[in-house]
């Protein structure tokens, strides 16, 4: 039975993929442009460097934005009103304006005023500030989802404050926020492509430079999409697995 249902799954997944590939293929044929991907071999070193740069920026951005997000969420839920409003202004400004405007603002105005010249560092900072606001919202949602009666129950069984945090709050917070955080990491990888406008030589900028030299615009962007999928599909699978894991556990 299990074998059969696996077979059905595989077969259907195969048919679905085939359908997508055929549709893309028909579109390409109707376009009537001959594709030539030989540039990938020619520029493999630069593409690889761009790919590594995207991974490095995304990883550094994720760590930093996680830190910013946790601090912002704690401040927003905290008792100090002044800091609470700073956090609210930050989250609303970032979530309410497009990333491209923030990149220009932070790089050319704020970055220049404070002497941040390094493009990689600026890129990581801008990306972290942007994503931090979204992560703050994920964490705030996790905190709000906690049932207050649990805290009373913990008190009733004689847990200390640190025990309550360690044994009641943190495990639930992790279960609630980890799957969406993985999804946010995926967004960071995609959003990092916008840093190309301040000439951070990551994957998208590398492809733009290559296509500006050889005019293989379609091939460059198709291949670019494929490379981003190599990063985001595994992440999506991890997110799904985590979701299932915590659902079973809960």
Q: Which residues bind other proteins (CB under 8 A)?
A: 1, 4-5, 7-8, 11-12, 15-16, 18-19, 22-23, 26, 30-33, 108, 112, 117, 196-199, 205, 208-209, 211-215, 217-218
Q: How far is CA 137 from CA 64, 125, 134, 140, 174, in A?
A: 15, 19, 5, 5, 14
Residue 32 tokens, joined: 């009537």
Q: How far is the CB of 29 from other proteins (least distance, A)?
A: 8
Q: How far is the CB of 195 from other proteins (least distance, A)?
A: 12
Q: How far is the CB of 198 from other proteins (least distance, A)?
A: 8
Answer whether 66's CB lies under 8 Å from 135's CB: yes
Nearer to other proteins, 26 or 153 (CB): 26
Nearer to other proteins, 1 or 157 (CB): 1
* CA distance linking residue 179 with residue 235, whole number of Å: 10
Nearer to other proteins, 175 or 195 (CB): 195
N- to C-terminal Cα separation, the chain: 28
Nearer to other proteins, 121 or 153 (CB): 121
Torsion of CA 154, 160, 164, 165, to 10 degrees: 160
Answer whether 69's CB lies under 8 Å from 131's CB: yes
Q: How far is the CB of 57 from other proteins (least distance, A)?
A: 17
* CA distance linking residue 112 with residue 121, whole number of Å: 13
Q: Tell me how many degrees the CA angle 97-65-93 measures, rounded to the nearest 5.
A: 20
Nearer to other proteins, 16 or 229 (CB): 16
Q: How far is the CB of 232 from other proteins (least distance, A)?
A: 24
Q: DSSP assignment, residue 163? A: H
Residue 173 tokens, joined: 């917070």
Nearer to other proteins, 93 or 108 (CB): 108
42, HSE (Cβ side, Cα atoms, 13 Å): 11
Q: How far is the CB of 22 from other proteins (least distance, A)?
A: 6
């Amino acid at each position: 039975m299990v074998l059969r249902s696996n077979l059905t799954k595989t077969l259907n997944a195969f048919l679905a993929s085939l359908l997508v590939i055929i549709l893309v293929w028909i579109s390409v044929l109707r376009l009537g442009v001959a594709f030539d991907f030989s540039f990938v071999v020619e520029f493999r070193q630069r593409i690889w460097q761009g790919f590594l740069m995207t991974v490095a920026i995304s990883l550094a951005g994720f760590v930093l934005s996680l830190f910013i997000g946790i601090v912002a969420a704690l401040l927003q839920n905290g008792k100090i009103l002044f800091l609470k409003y700073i956090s609210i202004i930050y989250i609303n400004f970032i979530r309410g304006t497009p990333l491209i405007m923030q990149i220009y603002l932070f790089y050319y105005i704020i970055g220049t005023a404070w002497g941040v010249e390094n493009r990689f560092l600026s890129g990581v900072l801008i990306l972290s500030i942007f994503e931090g606001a979204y992560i703050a919202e994920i964490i705030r949602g996790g905190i709000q989802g906690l049932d207050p009666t649990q805290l009373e129950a913990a008190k009733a069984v004689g847990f200390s404050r640190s025990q309550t945090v360690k044994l009641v709050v943190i495990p639930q917070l992790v279960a609630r926020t980890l799957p969406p955080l993985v999804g946010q990491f995926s967004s960071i990888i995609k959003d990092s492509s916008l840093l190309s406008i301040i000439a951070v030589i990551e994957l998208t900028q590398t492809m733009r430079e290559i296509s500006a030299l050889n005019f293989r615009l379609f091939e460059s962007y198709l291949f670019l999409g494929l490379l981003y999928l190599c990063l985001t599909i595994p992440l999506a699978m991890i997110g799904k697995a985590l979701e299932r894991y915590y659902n079973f556990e809960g």
